[in-house]
């Protein structure tokens, strides 16, 4: 299932490390995760400030209905003992809602500090620092995968998932944070709702999880806004206008898609 990121041989999990038959060895950190990135750059992925603000925002429960919708989809489509990867797990908020499902869970993210938080919140999962574009899994070895608000690789997901395996993707819906955009932008616009484009998968279902939230503090508004790519594309005045607010109401809108991996020779 898990393979060595150096040589591709089976990775054996021991108490304090993972190792392959060729002697490549990866220590399990005290926080319970392992770093399986081959090239260690200083701090890839999110910086610790944005990880902390994301964690703080998610813990307030504003996105709990989304987490529950993900849980329902996983519960309906996965069976006991199946393998399941959270690819781009961040701090593991969504994964923590799957804690009591009897799955063999894995979680990965390129940001080490996020994985450390994920491991703490998800002792049921094997958490590792990794790259979703080069996953350390054997071909067609995963039964399920989720990718929530994170970069994805259609090719790599097709490689690691077995035929008929299920993939859950979450992307921003058309109306996501529209009322905040009205404050920050001179010309607010709706998101283009494209979802995932996955050649080797069949779309089974998709739905919008859409509801209103009341952001209670300026800090919550700031933490949410900074989680989004919008923050970096908004004018300074626009960001300041929004971050000066003490509370705000907005729609949140998520596109939740369920895909099934096609058979190798299937043309659709």
Q: Within 10 Å of residue 260's Cβ, how many Cβ atoms?
A: 16
Give the residue with the Cβ less far from Zn ion, 8 or 163.
8
Of the candidates 1, 6, 65, 124, which one interacts with Zn ion according to CB under 5 A? 6
Interface with Zn ion in residues 16-75 (CB under 5 A): 20, 22, 24
Do 163 and 263 touch, CB atoms closer than 8 A?
yes
Of the candidates 2, 3, 4, 103, which one interacts with Zn ion according to CB under 5 A? 4
CA–CA separation, 228 vs 231, rounded Å?
A: 6
> Cβ of residue 22: shortest distance to Zn ion, in angstroms?
4
Per-residue exposure over 230-252, b if at least 16 CB sit within 10 Å of its own CB, e if not: bbeebeeebbeebbeeeebebbb
Question: Cα angle at 75 between 134 and 163, to 5 degrees?
Answer: 45
Is residue 10 near Zn ion by the rule CB under 5 A?
Answer: no
Distances 198 to 130, 157, 203, 258, 268 between C-alpha atoms, Å:
21, 9, 9, 11, 12
SS3 for 64-112 is HHHHHHHHHHHHHHCCCCCEEEEECCCCCCCHHHHCCCCCEEEEEECCH
> Cβ of residue 159: shortest distance to Zn ion, in angstroms?
19
Strand, helix or coil for residue 123: coil
> Cβ of residue 36: shortest distance to Zn ion, in angstroms?
11
SS3 for 152-193 is CCHHHHHHHEEEEEEEEEEEECCCCCHHHHHHHCCCCCCCCC
Is residue 12 near Zn ion by the rule CB under 5 A?
Answer: no
Is residue 170 near Zn ion by the rule CB under 5 A?
Answer: no
Give the residue with the Cβ less far from Zn ion, 6 or 31.
6
Q: By CB under 5 A, which span of 4-12, 147-155, 173-181, 194-202 interacts with Zn ion?
A: 4-12
Q: Which residue is nearest to Zn ion (CB)?
A: 4
Do 29 and 112 touch, CB atoms closer than 8 A?
no
Is residue 11 near Zn ion by the rule CB under 5 A?
Answer: no
> Cβ of residue 139: shortest distance to Zn ion, in angstroms?
17
Q: By CB under 5 A, which span of 1-9, 137-145, 153-161, 251-259 interacts with Zn ion?
A: 1-9
Give the residue with the Cβ less far from Zn ion, 11 or 146.
11
Give the residue with the Cβ less far from Zn ion, 138 or 219.
138
Is residue 7 near Zn ion by the rule CB under 5 A?
Answer: yes
Interface with Zn ion in residues 78-137 (CB under 5 A): none
Give the residue with the Cβ less far from Zn ion, 4 or 132.
4
Number of residues this chain uses to bind Zn ion (CB under 5 A) = 6
Q: Which residues bind Zn ion (CB under 5 A)?
A: 4, 6-7, 20, 22, 24
């Amino acid at each position: 299932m898990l393979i060595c990121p150096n040589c591709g041989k089976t990775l054996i999990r021991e108490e304090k490390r993972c190792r392959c038959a060729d002697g490549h060895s990866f220590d399990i950190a005290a926080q319970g995760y392992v770093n399986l990135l081959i090239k260690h750059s200083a701090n890839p992925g999110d910086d610790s400030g944005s990880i902390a603000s994301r964690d703080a925002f998610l813990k307030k429960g504003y996105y709990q209905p989304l987490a529950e919708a993900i849980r329902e989809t996983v519960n309906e489509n996965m069976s006991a003992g199946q393998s399941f990867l959270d690819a781009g797990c961040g701090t593991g908020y969504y994964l923590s809602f799957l804690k009591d499902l009897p799955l063999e869970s894995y979680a990965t993210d390129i940001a080490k500090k996020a994985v450390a938080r994920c491991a703490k919140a998800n002792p049921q999962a094997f958490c590792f620092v990794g790259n979703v574009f080069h996953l350390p899994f054997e071909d067609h070895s995963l039964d399920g995968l989720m990718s929530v608000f994170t970069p994805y690789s259609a090719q790599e997901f097709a490689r690691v998932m077995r035929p008929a395996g299920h993939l859950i993707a979450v992307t921003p819906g058309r109306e996501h944070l529209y009322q905040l955009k009205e404050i920050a932008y001179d010309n607010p616009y709706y998101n283009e709702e494209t979802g995932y484009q996955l050649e080797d998968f069949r779309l089974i279902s998709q739905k919008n999880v859409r509801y209103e939230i009341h952001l209670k503090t300026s800090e919550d508004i700031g933490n949410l806004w900074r989680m989004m790519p919008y923050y970096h594309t908004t004018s300074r005045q626009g960001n300041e206008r929004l971050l000066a607010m003490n509370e705000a109401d907005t729609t949140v809108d998520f596109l939740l898609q369920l895909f099934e991996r096609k058979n190798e020779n299937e043309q659709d």
